A and B are shown apart, each in its own frame.
Chain A
Amino acid sequence: VTTYLLIGLGLAIVAFAVLSMSDNLLQVEAHKMGSDSSKNNFSVFPKLSEIFGASKPAFVGQSAMHNLRQGHDIKLVGKAEPIIHTDIRAKTFAVKPTNFRGLSPIPRMLVSVGDEVKAGQPLFEDKKDNRVKYVSPVSGEVVEIRRGQKRAITDVIILADKEVKHIDFEVPDISQSSREDIVSFLLQSGTWTMLNQRPYDILPDPEIIPANIFISTFDSSPLAPDYSLIAEGKETSIQKAIDVLSKLTSGKVHIGLNASSDAPSKAFTSLTGAELNWFRGSHPAGNVGVQIHHTAPIGGTEKVWTLSVPTLISIGDLFLTGKYNAERLIALTGSEFESPSYVKTYQGANIGDIVNGNLKGGNTRIIAGNVLTGQKTSTENFLNVNDAHITAIPEGDSYELFGWMFPVIPRPSVSKTYPNFLFRNHEFEPTTNTHGERRAFVMTGQYEKLLPMDIHLQQLMKAILANDYERMEGLGINELTEEDVAICEFACTSKMPLQKILRQGLDMMREQG
């Protein structure tokens, strides 16, 4: 009997081997032919992750879902409540030439102090390419043109009217007009300056047709605003924008959706004419760069566009109403706000006007953006063009004596040397202190645990510091921007300024062309 059993077992193994080999060959063939583009399981066998991993949420349906294992969510106190203050509190607004990478520090001014402007009226233009107009977000009077070092223009400040008056643009019919017509309309209306081209995060070149367009509909960074809330009631605008964008690219419009929390807004999930990709994982799963890497990675000299949800709404509104819409919902977040909530305002609003009366007082750091990538700012300053939230946390300028020996004050950390991993949902109240000094690259494998991309980040950083262009490109610098490496910078034991080094490398690559 044992012999027959052994023969039977042997036959079963042979049969399984033949089956799995042909199955593998089929998968390879499917991948080569491109029928496997959805990254769905093509094999007859279920994947291990399908058996043992958490099941797909029901709202994902049949669309492709990417499970990202690397990353880390930093949970902080002060998430914005879904309360929207609709009265516009800000009185002054500014457009900052420094927000637009590649624009010369002294653009050609089209208005001067004292001029009355309407929303959508050009304030200045690029000396190298005068088709690109930078327009006013509101109507009102130009009250000041602030200059910084070497006479560079830092802010063009407008005192807003009570009621915003818009320029009425003539909207082209998108079903009949050519790509050039739509591009020139976007340029003329100033909406072009809301677009972003990768690599390098620059304003798109009107001559270049993007290979694909990517939109992430969620932000996984600490205390990020909820785009589903922002998109509420804007369904038609967003669909309109997708219709417009799909005429501008040679590829597809890709929408990145969040599969790790509640179902996202219908405004995103029921879009037509776009490819929906679901992502499940911790920060930086919501970063558009990570999503590009997993859906259609940038290859060779390709350029792609990346857009934010507010930009999508602005484009849709422009084509629906013919008005330049710079309205934004800004989330006020962080432990130093009395009531973290959303406020309605326009691009470039004065920060003091928005936050005053809501701060707890004390030694506070106000950050335009999130705690990982944001900029230190102050109440006299203005929002940057792409800011979606303001974070306020306590200043961390007090020194912790022997802090390296006794980690007693709770603080966010990715390291298992802190007991944090036992309390996954604890919300921390950190200060701005980085708790460390700069060291050489010592620990290895730290960045790779946090960056869900096939990129050797530490070696890439070394290549940048060594000005090695070939390696920078080969190791994938073109797939990254600052926000993608921010979580690694937070976790870095050696306190390496990764975002700064990366930008230095991106600038070098851009200058090389």
Chain B
Amino acid sequence: MFQVMIALQLCLIFGTYNIGHQHFIAMGQYGGFLEGFHLKFFHGLIKILPIFLVVHAVGLGIEILFAAKKGHAVEEGFLVSGPLITLIMPPDIPLWILAVAVAFAVIIGKEAFGGTGMNIWNVALLARVFIFFAYPTTISGDNVWVSGFEQVAAGVTTEYGWAHSLFNILFGWMGLDTFASGGAVVDGFTGATPLALAYQGGWEAVTSVYSTSQMWWGTIPGSIGETSKPLIILGALFLMFRGIASWRIIVGAVLGTFVMGMIMNAWGATPFMTVPWYYHAWIGSMLFAIAFMATDPVTATATNRGKWIYGILIGVIGLIIRILNPAYPEGWMLAILFLNTFSALIDHYVYEGNMKKRLRRA
């Protein structure tokens, strides 16, 4: 558990900074990545801290309540789910919706099945899928991935709250730039994620707005933790090397995605299908979902053979949802929850095979 938290730190720090970065990019200010460093970082912090605190207060609160009721020690499971939930949310998620979603995920998704280690579905994804179906406008579309605006359209201005004013006092005292209310979204900025662009116009539409290196390093709008590919890969390698995350699942899922991407390329009926298969790792949350969500040992398959099947199917189904379904902007959340449901079945057949082999010996 502790190892997963270490692996997530880089994504967490980068995600915090990227919230601020996207916010100022929308207003056409501080275009360079490190320009206005303190403003970007503290804007990100002001956005992410409440999310982090609400997730943990609600989640751990419920865990402690159930632990007290059942008379066992508080188990560590939520210390991993907490940062993960934070990282897969849009920066402006309303906190009460978040609280309801976390409560749903922990009570219905985990405690109802008996607590840590007994859940069928990934707790973090369950929280996200709850918001996705109950309050879709807060977690999809072009308006939610850049923080601080009612709506991301040219001319919409931003208002800062008391937290920003507090920092303004500090920054003013230190002689640095301060947050100025009334900044407006510049012409031509859409807030659309690469996925939305790819759906409309294929890879050309994506690269007309974002460069490949931008997408690779992660300075694009998206869920808080999903954007920076090298940091996710570092975290995934760390977990694989330490033996915490199953390399079979990760390799299988990446393989499944790429093979399905090639099939889609060959088909090529819609603009999204023509996106080169290797660029699917550049956009959306594919790598984050595979590295940190699919590898959850509780909800994944338990057998080695099952892990291959599970990983490959996540890749295949995730990409099918991403490309073919116009209603869902991203496929991994649903693909992983779907395979979570079937992981026991996959294992069942692996065990049956083992039992048959043993009976034949007699």
- Give 7 CB contacts A-B under 8 Å: A299-B362, A416-B243, A439-B117, A442-B297, A444-B297, A445-B302, A474-B354
Please choose the segment from A84-92, A280-288, A453-461 that sits at the chain B interface, where 4 or more of its residues have CB less than 8 A away.
A453-461
Are B361 and A440 closer than 8 Å at their CB atoms? no
Question: Nearest chain-A residue to B77 (Cβ)?
Answer: A442
Measured CA separation A476–B357 after assembly (Å): 10
Distance in angstroms between the alpha carbons of A119 and B242 in the assembled complex? 56
Q: Name the B residues within 8 Å of A456 (CB-CB).
A: 302-303, 350-351, 354
A contact residues around B327 at 8 Å (CB): none
Indicate whether A440 sits within 8 Å of B302 (C-beta atoms), given known contacts A417-B3, A475-B351. no
- Considering the chains assembled together, what is the distance between the CA atoms of A504 and B362 in angstroms? 24
A272 within 8 A of B: no
Return the contact of B355 from the options A299, A404, A439, A475 (Cβ within 8 A). Answer: A475
Q: Give Cα A301 to B362, complex, Å.
A: 8
- Cross-chain contact B300 with A444 (CB below 8 angstroms): yes
- How far is it, in angstroms, between the C-alpha of A417 and the C-alpha of B210 when the chains are bound? 38
On chain A, the residues within 8 Å of B2 by CB distance are: 404-405
Whether A474 lies near B358 (C-beta < 8 A) is yes
Verify A454–B357 contact, CB threshold 8 A: yes
B329-362 at interface with A (beta carbon < 8 Å): 347, 350-351, 354-355, 357-359, 361-362
A300's partner among B117, B347, B362 (CB-CB below 8 A) is B362
B343 to chain A, nearest CB (A): 10
Instruction: Judge whether A471 is part of the interface by a CB distance below 8 angstroms.
Output: yes
CB-CB under 8 A for A440 and B354, given A299-B361, A417-B243? no
Which A residues touch B362, using CB under 8 A?
299-301
Query: Is A379 among interface residues, defined by CB-CB distance under 8 A?
Result: no
- Are A440 and B118 in touch, CB under 8 angstroms? yes
Set of chain B residues within 8 Å of A439, measured between Cβ atoms: 75, 116-117
Q: B354 — which chain A residues lie within 8 A by C-beta?
A: 454-456, 474-476
Say yes or no for A443: interface residue by CB 8 A criterion. yes
Say yes or no: is A494 at the interface (Cβ < 8 Å to chain B): yes
Choice from B77, B244, B359 contacting A417 with Cβ under 8 Å: B244
Q: Using CB atoms, name the residue of chain B closest to A418.
A: B242
Known: A299-B358, A299-B361. 18 other contacts (CB 8 A): A300-B362, A416-B242, A439-B117, A440-B116, A442-B77, A442-B297, A442-B298, A444-B246, A444-B300, A444-B303, A445-B297, A445-B303, A448-B303, A459-B347, A471-B355, A474-B358, A476-B354, A494-B117
Contacting residues, chain A, for B181 (C-beta < 8 A): none
Does B241 sit within 8 A of A, measured CB to CB? yes
Chain A to chain B: the 8 pairs with minimum beta-carbon distance, closest first? A440-B117, A300-B362, A474-B355, A299-B361, A444-B302, A299-B362, A442-B117, A416-B243
The smallest beta-carbon distance between A22 and chain B, in angstroms, is 26
| Mask of A149-175 contacts with B, CB within 8 angstroms, 1/0 | 000000000000000000000000000
Interface residues on A, range: 20 to 34
Contact B297 A443 (CB under 8 A): yes
Shortest Cβ distance from residue A497 to the other chain B in the assembled complex, whole angstroms: 16
B114 within 8 A of A: yes
Within 8 A of A (CB), among B275-315: 297-298, 300-304, 307
Asked if B73 contacts A437 (CB within 8 A), the reply is yes
**Is B36 an interface residue, CB under 8 A from the partner?**
no
Q: Interface on A for B, CB 8 Å cutoff? A: 297, 299-301, 404-405, 415-417, 437, 439-445, 448, 454-456, 458-459, 471, 474-476, 494
Contact of B358 among A443, A458, A476 (CB under 8 A): A476
Q: Which residues of A contact B183 (CB under 8 A)?
A: none
Chain B residue contacts of A494, Cβ below 8 A: 117
**Alpha-carbon distance between A417 and B114 when the two chains are bound, in angstroms:** 28
**A440–B118 Cα gap in the complex (Å)?**
7
Given contacts A299-B362, A456-B351, contact A441 B243 (CB under 8 A): no
B139 CB to closest chain A CB (Å) equals 29
Alpha-carbon gap, A439 to B114, bound state (A): 12
A476 to B354, CA, bound (A): 9
**With A and B bound together, what is the CA distance between A455 and B301 in angstroms?**
16
Give the chain A neighbours of B297 by CB distance below 8 A. Answer: 442-445
Give the shortest distance, in Å, between A237 (CB) and chain B (any CB): 35
Q: B353 CB to closest chain A CB, in angstroms?
A: 10
Query: Is the Cβ of B117 less than 8 Å from the Cβ of A415?
Result: no
Task: Select which of A445, A455, A475, A476 is within 8 A of B304 by beta carbon.
Answer: A445
Is there contact, CB below 8 Å, between A459 and B3? no
Please, which residues of chain B bring their CB within 8 A of the CB of A455?
354
- B271 close to A (CB within 8 Å): no
The CA-CA distance from A439 to B72 in the complex, in Å, is 10
In the complex the two chains form, what is the Cα distance from A404 to B73 in whole Å? 15
> CB-CB < 8 A to A474: which residues of B?
351, 354-355, 358-359
The minimal Cβ–Cβ distance linking B354 to chain A, given in whole angstroms, is 6
Question: Is B242 a contact partner of A417 (Cβ separation < 8 A)?
Answer: yes
CB distance from A72 to the nearest CB of B (A): 12
Contact A458 B302 (CB under 8 A): yes
Q: How far is it, in angstroms, between the C-alpha of A445 and the C-alpha of B246 when the chains are bound? A: 8
CA distance A8 to B114 in the complex (A): 64
Contact B361 A300 (CB under 8 A): yes
A474-B362 Cα distance, complex, nearest whole Å: 11
How far, in whole Å, are A441 and B298 apart by their CA atoms in the complex? Answer: 8
Question: Quick one: CB contact mask for B208-226 with A, threshold 8 Å, 1 for yes?
Answer: 0000000000000000000
CA distance in complex: A476, B115 (Å):
29
In Å, the complex CA distance between A4 and B154 comes to: 66
* Smallest CB separation, B102 vs chain A (Å): 20
Q: How far is the CA of A405 from the CA of B362 in the complex (A)?
A: 49
Q: From A302, which residue of chain B is reached at the shortest CB distance?
A: B362
B303, B347, B361: the one contacting A297 at CB < 8 Å is: B361
Q: Nearest B residue to A441 by beta-carbon distance?
A: B117
Distance between Cα atoms of A417 and B2 in the complex (Å): 10
- Which partner residue on chain A sits nearest B356 by CB separation? A474
How far, in whole Å, are A376 and B73 apart by their CA atoms in the complex?
Answer: 27
Please name all residues of chain B whose beta carbon is closer than 8 Å to the beta carbon of A476 when the two chains form the complex: 354, 358
Chain B residues whose C-beta falls within 8 Å of the C-beta of A471 in the assembled complex: 351, 355
- The listed residue with most A CB atoms (<10 A of its CB), out of B298, B347, B358, is B358
Residues of A within 8 A of B114 (CB): 440
Q: A415-B243, A475-B351, A475-B355 are in contact. Are A442 and B302 (CB under 8 A)?
A: no
Q: Which of B300, B307, B351, B359 lies in contact with A459, CB distance below 8 A?
A: B351
Least Cβ distance of A473 to chain B in Å?
A: 8
Q: Is the CB of A442 within 8 A of B303?
A: no
Q: Please name the residue on chain B nearest to A474 by beta carbon.
A: B355
| A270→B304 CA distance, assembly (Å) | 40
- Residue contact A416 to B241, C-beta cutoff 8 Å: yes
Q: Which residues of chain A are within 8 angstroms of B243 by Cβ–Cβ distance? A: 415-417
Inter-chain CA distance A416–B73, complex, in Å, is: 26
Residue of B nearest to A443 (CB): B297
In the assembled complex, how far is the CB of residue B1 from the closest CB belonging to chain A, in whole angstroms?
Answer: 9
In the assembled complex, which residues on chain B have CB atoms less than 8 Å from the CB atom of A437? 73
Shortest beta-carbon distance, A203 to chain B, in Å? 24
A458 to B301 CA separation, bound complex (whole angstroms): 12
A443 surroundings in chain B (CB, below 8 A):
297
C-alpha gap A475/B347 in the complex (Å): 13
Min CB gap A466→B, angstroms: 13
Return chain A residues, CB-CB under 8 Å to B244: 417
* Chain A residues whose CB sits within 8 angstroms of the CB of B307 once the complex forms: 445
Whether A440 lies near B246 (C-beta < 8 A) is: no
Q: Which B27-46 residues have C-beta < 8 A from chain A? A: none
CA distance A484 to B351 in the complex (A): 20
| Chain B residue, CB-CB nearest to A404 | B2
CB distance from A439 to the nearest CB of B (A): 6
Smallest distance from the beta carbon of B227 to chain A beta carbons, Å? 28
> Which residues of A sit under 8 angstroms from B242, Cβ to Cβ?
415-417
